[in-house]
Chain A
Amino acid sequence: MISERAAFMTQMVEVFTSTVSFGERLNNMVHLLARHLNLDLALYFGLDKARETLVLNISSEGPVAPQQRLEFALGTGLVGEAAVSRKYRVVHRYQPGVAEVNAVLEKLTPAYRTLAAFPVSDDNFLYGVLLLMDREDRPITPTERQNLQLVCLMLAGTLRQAIVQQDAKKRIAELSVLFEVGKALSSTVDLDELLERIVSTTAKVITARGAALDIIDSATGELRVSSRYGSIPRECPPFCLYPLETGGAGEPPHFEGHALNAEGHTHYFLAVPLTFKGRLRGTLTVYDKLVPGGQFASFDPENRQLLYTMAGVVVNAIENALTYQQVESLAEKNERMVRNLTTLQEISQVLLSTVQQDRLLEIVLQGLTLEQGLGFTRAIVFMVDEETQTLKGIKGARRVDEPFPSFQALLAPPPEPIVVTDWEIPIRPDQGPLALTVLRKQSFHYRGKEPGVPASLLEKYAPGEFFVVPLVVKDRATGVIVVDNEDSGRPLEAEPLHVLQMFANEAALVLENAHLYSTIEANNRELLLIRERMLESDRLAALSSLASGMAHEIRNPLVSIGGFARRIGKLVDVNSPLHGYVEVIQEEVSRLEKLLREILDFSGENLSYYGDYELSKLIEDTLILVQRDLDAGKIMVVKEFAPMPRLHCDDRQLKQVFYNLLQNSVQAMPHGGTLTIRTQQVERSDGLYEAVAFSDTGGGIPLEVLHNIFNPFFSTKDYGTGLGLAIAQRIVSRHYGQIEVNNEMGKGVTFIVTFPVAKYCLVKGTAKEAVPEGDSMTSSGGRR
């Protein structure tokens, strides 16, 4: 007996300590018990989660079929009583009331005689009740009772273990979910990627069909970003901004609901808030919990708890990512700014390397199109043509694919020019953004929506989106720069527009400088030419003077020699050999005289070039030539120019007149003074005259020399040819004008030059009486 009991206990302990699942262990124990006690049936009723009902879980006859499901409420039947009293009870069918209260048991064993119920519990919990049934009236011996109580303790222990293990498993599962989430969150700071991971991980751990994460902008309350994973039923609200319900006692706030779709299936959703520092930042939502068999189910409190825990974890990660994103975008912005400024500075430096407009344009275009520069794909410079009031394409370039190794690449010519020289846009408000940019002096971001890009431009250049910025110098638009990202498809951002405008200002300035420089250069060249011409004419005058002087010296003796030779010829007999000698002398003298005449004709002859000129302009031009002398002589020039019509004259000759008069004035004031130049229109009885007066403060001309000043070769100076005023007078008289001298002794001299206006037509210095006054006005009217 003892050995039998020992064997049973040994078997029991073996089962108890076996590694099979708890359910299997319980099964085995119940079976073993039934066999050992030689009982018809041994059953285990487990207390359900609600702790209200005891449900048949295990039967010694094998698996419990659904139709065999039996249950007792606590306190009802033998099972219920044993559970409440926590004491074992043994009853027999014949006893009163037993059959009634346990009637359901007849489904299993209709002819039972004995029932014994043993509560399965430990010090803390009741887990269930062990029920033994037999078809005979039999007692439970004390040994059997002891054994049974022992078995019940083992069952309780096993159940306890199972619960503990299940709890542990759940904890582990939860921890591993959180670990997964944490891992997912910490692996990236990229917001989009982070959100994607959050929703996918959430959906997986909740076993939901879909999940969504929505972040709102804390300032506006608007949806800022959202991320979706899996399948989200259309019937459910996509974004849960509704007031979140507070769950049951101890449950976190959440929003839960379901919706019926067209086919009659129910979809479920559950949303929990994402709160950071007490403020709602968004929601985490799961849709349709998946249960085995492809069904959807509603979410249980455990899911809510888990989702809530996850929300707490992810909100921090999202905050971090948002902050990081902000910091990153700020850093990027800063970096771009620094890069842009560096670029500008570098381009500026390169721009300073030249004043040639064409080279500058090349550098500008490179700065605009190079990756290291402003990085646009195409760039075109248009300049304003003041005369025609049009924008003309000057130069354009397209980005080269291979980036240059260094910024010094700016010094290389752009390899792919765009031919733009035939592009022309009238500067009128109806001529589209380019013309408007010039008119308004404002940059323009063309997005392909606004109308008005001229068809002529679109034919050659079909941009979807472009910037056009004005080149502004001293509040005047001198041109525009047009840039776009035609090939790259990269959108134009607002920020580079500022940089572009800064760049355009710089470019406008250097281009204007280059323009001024080239104008100055051209003016200098012209001045040099004029000066050379003047010097040439001075040289010619000097030569002329030399020739005249020589002529005088040579001509007189020649005349004497030739004249006396003729006289001798008349006295000598024609047949005498002397006559032949004299003839030789005469002929040679004639030849020399002819030669002299030719030389003098050449030096005295001036070809005339007549045109219509403003006297003030001619005076200004001439003043430049004597500027150095004026400066050196500390002579201040006062100009009082009246507006006058153009004069028909030979500009070179008149400049010579003014030059000579100015030289005269300069020489009259060796210790400095004031030279006043006045122009005036004078009406006389015989017509209109234009007058120029040169007044110096040189003390005047001594009376004894005054009447000589226009004589050729007369000079009071140690230098000069003495021809200056004579030549001036000769030229003036060729223009049918006059030179008058107004001498104020002790003060100064005024030379007044007057020219008749359009009274004569002068061709190559030959004067002809002009056509009648009226016709003359008509013929020259176009020039006035």
Chain B
Amino acid sequence: MKKILVADDEMSIRLLYSEELKEEGYEVYMASNGREALEMVEKIPLDLVILDIKMPEMDGIEALRQIKQKRPDLPVILSTAYGEYRQDFATWASDEYLVKSSDLEDLKAVVRRHLQEPSEERPS
């Protein structure tokens, strides 16, 4: 079972994401800030990380940077309320950038795409 970490300071978001992703058949871990997320990345052999950007203690950008240092292969999806920075954040080494939406189909599709067998070509 693929392991996914959801890092968000909003408990309701964490809950919603984990419920939805569990339903999809993933094992979901949760962190409420970047520091916790980083700890879990170190402890657990995760397959994918969903990171919020604005979080206390350590924000998503810094967490992304450090995660990519530790595990460059680990796909990281930035999920944020800041839609207007999509273009800038795209250059920040995250694999995906998603604006949060109550419709989680996009998120699930992206997660699915990243967790497919490596033999399959990833669309650019």
Contacts and interface: CB of A to CB of B under 8 A. Distances in A.
Interface of A: 544, 548, 551-552, 555-567, 586, 589-590, 593, 597, 600-601, 603-605, 707-708, 711-713, 726, 729-730, 733
A423 B89 CA distance: 62
B82 A551 contact: yes
A662 B92 CA distance: 25
A548 B82 contact: yes
Contact of A556 (B12, B19, B103): B12
B102 A593 contact: yes
Contacts of A713: 54
Nearest to B105: A566
Contacts of B83: 551, 597, 600-601, 604
A559 B102 contact: yes
A519 B109 CA distance: 62
**Most A Cβ at <10 Å: residue of B15, B16, B19, B80:** B16
Contact of B20 (A555, A563, A593, A708): A563
24 contacts: A551-B81, A551-B83, A552-B81, A555-B100, A557-B10, A559-B16, A559-B100, A559-B102, A560-B13, A560-B15, A561-B102, A562-B101, A562-B102, A563-B102, A564-B16, A586-B102, A597-B99, A601-B83, A604-B84, A711-B61, A712-B82, A726-B88, A733-B88, A733-B91
A98 to B, nearest CB: 168
Given A551-B81, A556-B13, 7 more contacts: A552-B54, A552-B82, A559-B102, A560-B12, A565-B102, A566-B102, A708-B62
B115 interface: no
B84 A589 contact: no
B93 to A, nearest CB: 13
Contact of A560 (B10, B54, B85, B91): B10
Contacts of B27: none
B100 A556 contact: yes
Contact of A555 (B59, B81, B87): B81
A566 B103 contact: yes
Interface in B66-101: 80-85, 87-88, 91, 99-101
B110 interface: no
**Most A Cβ at <10 Å: residue of B10, B20, B91:** B10
Nearest to A713: B54
B44 interface: no
A733 B82 CA distance: 18
A556 B88 contact: no
Nearest to A562: B102
Contacts of B20: 563, 567
A606 B94 CA distance: 25
A567 B84 contact: no
Contact of B102 (A548, A558, A730): A558
B7 to A, nearest CB: 14
Contacts of B12: 556-557, 560, 564
Instruction: Give the top 9 A-B pairs by smallest Cβ distance, nearest first.
Output: A562-B102, A604-B84, A560-B12, A555-B81, A563-B16, A552-B81, A556-B10, A559-B100, A563-B102
Interface string B44-61: 000000000010000101
A589 B85 CA distance: 22
Contact of A601 (B84, B101, B103): B84
Contacts of A733: 88, 91
Nearest to B85: A712
Contact of A544 (B81, B84, B88, B101): B84
B13 A730 contact: no
A329 to B, nearest CB: 88
Contacts of A711: 59, 61
Contacts of A586: 102
A555 B81 CA distance: 6
Nearest to A553: B81
A600 B100 CA distance: 13
Contacts of B16: 559-560, 563-564, 567
Contacts of B81: 548, 551-552, 555-556
Nearest to A557: B12
Nearest to B91: A733
B66 to A, nearest CB: 10
A597 B99 CA distance: 10
Contacts of B54: 552, 713
A566 B20 CA distance: 10
A177 B62 CA distance: 129
A254 B100 CA distance: 132
A558 to B, nearest CB: 6
B101 A548 contact: no
Interface in B14-34: 15-16, 19-20
Contacts of A563: 16, 20, 102, 104
Nearest to A729: B88
Nearest to A765: B87
Contact of B103 (A548, A590, A708): A590
A473 to B, nearest CB: 53
Nearest to B65: A707
A754 to B, nearest CB: 16
Contacts of A555: 81, 100
B51 to A, nearest CB: 14
Nearest to B89: A712
B84 A559 contact: no
**Most B Cβ at <10 Å: residue of A552, A565, A713:** A552
A425 B62 CA distance: 70
Contacts of B62: 707-708
Contacts of B80: 552
Contacts of A712: 82, 85
Nearest to B60: A711
B30 to A, nearest CB: 14
A589 B61 contact: no
**Most B Cβ at <10 Å: residue of A544, A548, A558, A597:** A548
A608 to B, nearest CB: 13
Contacts of B100: 555-556, 559
A564 B17 CA distance: 10
A373 to B, nearest CB: 68
Contact of A559 (B13, B65, B87, B91): B13
A600 B104 CA distance: 20
A339 B104 CA distance: 95
B84 A603 contact: yes
Contact of A567 (B19, B85, B87, B99): B19
A733 B85 CA distance: 12
Given A552-B54, A567-B20, A733-B91, A559 B82 contact: no
Contacts of B104: 563, 566
A601 B16 CA distance: 26
Contacts of B15: 560
A521 B83 CA distance: 43
B82 A590 contact: no
A552 B55 CA distance: 11
A493 B102 CA distance: 95
**Most B Cβ at <10 Å: residue of A561, A603, A711:** A711
B102 A590 contact: yes
A563 B6 CA distance: 15
Contacts of A726: 88
A589 B82 contact: no
A604 B87 CA distance: 11
B63 to A, nearest CB: 12
Nearest to B10: A556
Nearest to A570: B23
Contacts of A557: 10, 12
Contacts of B65: 707
A600 B82 CA distance: 8
A711 B60 CA distance: 11
A218 to B, nearest CB: 100
A713 to B, nearest CB: 7
